[in-house]
Amino acid sequence: MMRKIAFLLISATLGSLAAHAASELHVVDQSKLQFSVTEIRIKKGDTVRFMNSDRPAHNILVKEGTTVLNSGLQQPGEPFDVPFNTEGTYPVRCGIHPKMHMTVVVE
């Protein structure tokens, strides 16, 4: 019985690690008051790292339905990671610079 429980625990852990290992990190750069892409297509479970390579601070806002994820003030050189665990289309913009906008499509 103990072997069966141990096997189930190990299997569950390995399955969880495999799912985590399969996720990817995608980097979107912010430079010259714009995002490096206007749209990015990723898989469910992937993470987008918004990297501020610009001189001014930025403020990442990701809209999900009626909820907005807010990075707060993102200083130059700082990353902001956003995991996307649900399929859909997510508008992203900078709360400080209204011309900075892009879309994340999660498939």
How far is it between the farthest Cα atoms of the chain?
Answer: 62
Q: Express each pLDDT in 9-27 by its tens digit.
A: 444 444 444 555 579 999 9
Give the span between the Cα atoms of 58 and 4, in whole angstroms.
52
What is this structure's pTM?
0.78
Which domains, from first to last, does the chain contain? 24-106 (2.60.40.420)
Q: Express each pLDDT in 25-76 by its tens digit.
A: 999 999 999 999 999 999 999 999 999 999 999 999 999 888 899 999 999 9
Q: What is the pLDDT of residue 66?
A: 84
Is 80 in a helix, a strand, or coil?
Answer: strand
Is 30 in a helix, a strand, or coil?
Answer: strand
Give the pairing of strands 101-106 and 39-42. Answer: parallel
